[in-house]
Amino acid sequence: MTMSKSRIALLVVIAAVVALPLIGSDFFISFLMTRVLILAIAAASIVFLFRYGGMTSLAQFLIFGVAGFMVGNAVAESGKGLKLGWGPWVAVVFALGIALIVALILGALASRTSGIYFLMLTLTYAVIGYYFFGQVTSLSGFGGITGIRPPPLFDEHPERLYYAAVGLSIVAYVGFKAIARTPFGLALQGTRDDPVRMASLGFNVPLHRTLAFVIAGFVTACAGILYIWWNGQIDPTSISIGPTLDLLIIAVIGGISYLEGAWVGALVYVLANNYLRNVPLLDQIGITEARFNTVIGLLVLLIMILSPEGIMGIVDRLGRGGRGAEPSVPSIAKVETG
Amino acid sequence: MNLASAAGSDTLTPARSRPELRRRLVLGLMVVPLLLVLAWVLFLANGTSAGPAIKEPGEFLVTLLDGITVAGLFFVVASGFTLIFGLMRTVNMAHGSLFAMAAYIGITIQQTMVGKTRNIEAADVSLAAWFVPLLVGAMVAAVIGIVIQQVLLRWNEGQELRQALITLAVAVILSDQMLAWFGGLATRMVWPGAVTHFFEIAGERYATSRLFMLGMAIVVGVGLWLWLGRTRMGMVIRAGVDDRDMVRALGINIMAVFAITFFVGAFLAGVGGIMGASFAGVAPGADGQWLLNSLVVVIIGGLGSLKGAVAGSLLFGLVVSFSPAYLPQEFTFYSIILTFVLLAVVLAVRPYGLFGKAAA
């Protein structure tokens, strides 16, 4: 079987990302690109839930944060939180376990709703989670947990953390695609397209949605662990409503129906955030770095008006040259009622 | 009077096996914790900041009034949200931004009318110096709302997610612009002097301004009820909720009805913004906070239902006021969890809220 164009493109991108530390500066790799990848993995879980399950989840960053906070609580020996003082790898298992339980509970509760209700419910989860970690001082408090060191493998080796994020990105991308082809994944897509028919065929629709939510939760929890290793600290503000919506915005910019879109969106978002001040003339019309959110908001507005499928949707359309069949992906414009 | 799309009784709940039996079982199971909570509040709540209601009836009454009055504020904000959703199925993520916008504008006008920018005493504030900012702030919110609807939402009717994301983008822009224009400090409106008194109730002092807030909410609620239930316009709206296409086919200009509904919904967000700014102040982040409050209310009560908004606000308000007062003092910071428990319990029984119905 000859390799398709998109597969070749994918391999080229992976090779470029792996080779990037050879040419990029330390700041570019360890600060920007690692952040891009971590956000992209979390955003990919949003895309997975939307594309295959028809669920628009805003709770992904909460689960991301739960994993981060649990690592912080487990490894810290002093400061805020539980101060368990465990080894870093035990902490990982612990954090993943807690995050999965949280994802299971939240997913089970939300699984009987869909569409716009799901969006609102998960947004509510996210904000309640923010206040939870803010108010429950035995776990964090508003000051957050600081001074977390990554395991010795990554300590003082930011480029290894970058490669870990690359590895996790590949696993998440390939894994999500693979899951979609399993019987479970096919049934999940069935519940997306017609829940009533799937239910009458004997499929347990809420169970499929819950399982998908847990799978997405696992991936985003892994990203959360990378995040606290990379950042060294986590506080409730980093999972508040702003960052939560930003993650959805990342998915939307890239194209919420395309798994690749998560990485594209994160790249655009982080680079815009960092290099906006370097764009000439922009500050003369009142757009400075401080008004980044206005720029991002306008970008999302523009995308939503002109091409709801985001950047990948445009690429996809150009790639097909206006010919060929419609893409077989769920479209924002087509999603109507739940 | 249910604004939600009435698709008969066949709500779209997959796996409807033995639903009646199961619902009774769940309801039965819910009564037990409810009784436990009641027993706790009445007799057992030693070591809480309020104390058992039997011993401290004043504290209990104050907590109850706190809950009901704050529910009034929740209702005013959420009613606009639910009105817009009920008719147009648009989830207006910018609802909190309209709230905050009206609040900031109201504060600016009040400061101009009173003639000072800080340390405004209630005695300085005449009724006009509160109601004029209310009207102007709410009108600005309503005008922004109608611009959003006409420019951004008119042509993509029915695409729920796209509309939610468009209003989300608007919310991001508005929130950033408000930060630029009004700064990052918390500010507040001041209640008019005429309603800022204290009175005695069962041995506790209680602020009249909170009752004033409840009164405003009742006026809004009754007004909405009369408008939707007794006027021709309200009849058209209710018909539109049930079947938009049929209303259109009867030759009624539903686009005009949409515009008016969005105007009123945004106006209510603005009224809530002025009340909220007088009650708790406004700061960056208030927009998200009040969007969340509206979401909680409508998720509990059911989207698109006025009755649901009343029930949701009351339940949410009571939980918000009772949980810090009646949790043991060393656990009061867990009160946020009780909001979540409330949501979870309601959703476990009725996935679309108490008075909500699945989208048709």
pLDDT tens readout for residues A311-334: 998 888 887 765 544 555 667 765
Kindly tell me if the per-residue pLDDT of A106 is higher than 90.
yes
Answer whether B173 sits within 8 Å of A293, measured CB to CB. yes
Over residues A55-80, the mean pLDDT reads 90
Q: Nearest C-alpha of chain B: how many angstroms from A2?
A: 38
Give the mean pLDDT of chain A.
Answer: 87
Q: Which A residues 16-35 touch B at CB under 8 Å?
A: none
DSSP string, B61-110: HHHHHHHHHHHHHHHHHHHHHHHHHHHH----TTHHHHHHHHHHHHHHHH
Q: Nearest C-alpha of chain B: how many angstroms from A326?
A: 19
- The Cα A49–Cα B208 span in angstroms is 49
Three-class DSSP labels, A200-226 = HCCCCHHHHHHHHHHHHHHHHHHHHHH
Q: How far is CA A146 from CA A81, B295, B355, in A?
A: 10, 32, 45
Say what the pLDDT of residue B263 is: 96
Q: How far is CA B288 from CA A128, A206, B78, B86, B267, in A?
A: 12, 29, 13, 21, 18
Nearest to A139 by CA among A196, A181, A95: A95
Sign of CA dihedral B168, B316, B64, B326: negative
Say what the pLDDT of residue A287 is: 60
Say what the pLDDT of residue A167 is: 95
Kindly tell me if the per-residue pLDDT of B131 is higher than 80.
yes
Q: Indicate the residue type of B179.
A: L
Kindly tell me if the per-residue pLDDT of A220 is higher than 70.
yes
DSSP, collapsed to helix, strand or coil, labels residue A314 as helix
CB-count burial class (<10 Å; 0-12, 13-18, 19+) for A317: middle
The CA angle A161-A164-A170, to the nearest 5 degrees, is 145
Q: Nearest C-alpha of chain A: how many angstroms from B248?
A: 19
To the nearest 10°, report the CA torsion of B75, B77, B80, B85: -90
Say what the pLDDT of residue B202 is: 76
Any bridge partners for residue B282, and if so which? B187
Q: Does B150 touch chain A (CB under 8 A)?
A: no
Chain A residue whose CA is closest to B5: A337
Q: Could you tell me if A217 and A103 are in contact, meaning their C-beta atoms sit under 8 angstroms apart?
A: yes
**How far, rounded to the nearest angstrom, does the alpha carbon of residue B60 sit from its chain's CA centroid?**
24
ipTM over 0.95: no
Say what the pLDDT of residue B178 is: 93
> How many Cα atoms occupy the beta-carbon half-sphere of A60 within 13 Å?
35
Across the interface, of B160, B166, B289, the residue whose CB is closest to A304 is B166
Say what the pLDDT of residue A251 is: 94
Looking at beta carbons, which residues of chain A come within 8 Å of B14? 112, 195-196, 198-199, 205-206
Confidence of residue B343 (pLDDT cuts 50, 70, 90): confident
Q: Does A120 touch chain B (CB under 8 A)?
A: yes
Chain A residue whose CA is closest to B299: A121
Say what the pLDDT of residue B338 is: 84
Q: Which helix (H) or strand (E) holds A93?
A: helix A88-110
Over residues A294-318, the mean pLDDT reads 88
Say what the pLDDT of residue B155 is: 87
Q: How far is CA B120 from CA A273, B126, B188, B279, in A?
A: 40, 12, 10, 15
Q: Nearest C-alpha of chain B: how many angstroms from A61?
A: 16
Least confident interval from A148-157, A235-244, A280-289:
A280-289
Those residues whose C-beta lies under 8 Å from the C-beta of residue A65, and which sit 6 or more positions away, are: A129, A133, A224, A234, A236, A238, A239
Say what the pLDDT of residue A269 is: 93
Over residues A229-235, the mean pLDDT reads 91
Answer whether A308 sits within 8 Å of B15, measured CB to CB. no
Say what the pLDDT of residue A1 is: 45
Look at B230 and B32; give whichever has higher pLDDT: B230
- The Cα B104–Cα B110 span in angstroms is 10
DSSP, collapsed to helix, strand or coil, labels residue B202 as coil
Confidence of residue B80 (pLDDT cuts 50, 70, 90): very high
Across the interface, of A110, A252, A337, the residue whose CB is closest to B165 is A252
pTM of the model: 0.87
Say what the pLDDT of residue B13 is: 47
Q: Could you tell me if A39 and A250 are in contact, meaning their C-beta atoms sit under 8 angstroms apart?
A: yes
Confidence of residue A87 (pLDDT cuts 50, 70, 90): confident
Answer whether B12 sits within 8 Å of A195, measured CB to CB. yes
Chain B residue whose CA is closest to A205: B14
Looking at beta carbons, which residues of chain B come within 8 Å of A142? none
- The Cα B31–Cα B44 span in angstroms is 18
Q: Does A293 touch chain B (CB under 8 A)?
A: yes
Give the tens place of pLDDT for each residue, A171-203. 999 999 999 999 999 999 999 999 999 999 999
Chain B residue whose CA is closest to A194: B14
Confidence of residue B110 (pLDDT cuts 50, 70, 90): very high
Kindly tell me if the per-residue pLDDT of A278 is higher than 80.
no
What phi and psi, each to the nearest 5 degrees, are found at residue A313? -65, -40
Looking at beta carbons, which residues of chain A come within 8 Å of B347? 109-110, 112-113, 121
Confidence of residue B107 (pLDDT cuts 50, 70, 90): very high
Give the tens place of pLDDT for each residue, A114-172. 888 898 889 889 988 998 898 888 888 888 888 888 888 888 888 899 999 999 999 99
Look at B331 and A65; give whichever has higher pLDDT: A65
DSSP, collapsed to helix, strand or coil, labels residue A12 as helix
Look at A49 and B243; give whichever has higher pLDDT: A49
Over residues B41-70, the mean pLDDT reads 83
- The Cα A44–Cα A259 span in angstroms is 6
Confidence of residue B161 (pLDDT cuts 50, 70, 90): confident
Say what the pLDDT of residue A4 is: 78
Q: Could you tell me if B217 and B235 are in contact, meaning their C-beta atoms sit under 8 angstroms apart?
A: no
Nearest to A119 by CA among B95, B300, B161: B161
Over residues A58-87, the mean pLDDT reads 87
Confidence of residue B183 (pLDDT cuts 50, 70, 90): confident
Say what the pLDDT of residue A53 is: 93
Say what the pLDDT of residue B358 is: 60
Say what the pLDDT of residue A3 is: 62
Q: Could you tell me if A256 and A60 are in contact, meaning their C-beta atoms sit under 8 angstroms apart?
A: no
Give the mean pLDDT of chain B.
Answer: 86
The CA angle A206-A211-A217, to the nearest 5 degrees, is 125
Across the interface, of B91, B152, B360, the residue whose CB is closest to A120 is B91
Looking at beta carbons, which residues of chain B come within 8 Å of A240? 285, 288
CB-count burial class (<10 Å; 0-12, 13-18, 19+) for A236: buried
Say what the pLDDT of residue B51 is: 75
Confidence of residue A284 (pLDDT cuts 50, 70, 90): low
Q: Could you tell me if B192 and B127 are in contact, meaning their C-beta atoms sit under 8 angstroms apart?
A: yes
Residue among B89, B147, B165 with most chain A CBs within 10 A, to mutate: B165
Confidence of residue B333 (pLDDT cuts 50, 70, 90): confident
Over residues B9-17, the mean pLDDT reads 46
Percent of chain B with pLDDT over 90: 45
